[in-house]
Structure 1
Amino acid sequence: MILGPEPKAPTMQFDGMLEETANAEDTWQDAFKAPELEGASPLLITWGVTASADLMCWDAASDDPAEWPVLVFNRGEIQFDRYNCGMAAFLTGVLREDFPKCPLSDVTLWGRGEASFQKSRR
Structure 2
Amino acid sequence: MDIPLVLPPDHDSQRISSVEKTLLSSEKLNRMAQIFKLFGDPSRLKIINALKNNELCVHEITALMGMSQPAVSQQLRQLKQVRVVASRREGKRIYYYLNDEHIIQLFEICRIHLEEEGR
**Category of TM-score, reference length = shorter chain:** under 0.3
Bigger fraction of residues in helix = 2
Using structure 2 for the length normalisation, give the TM-score: 0.25
Bigger fraction of residues in strand = 1
The higher radius of gyration belongs to 2
Using structure 1 for the length normalisation, give the TM-score: 0.24
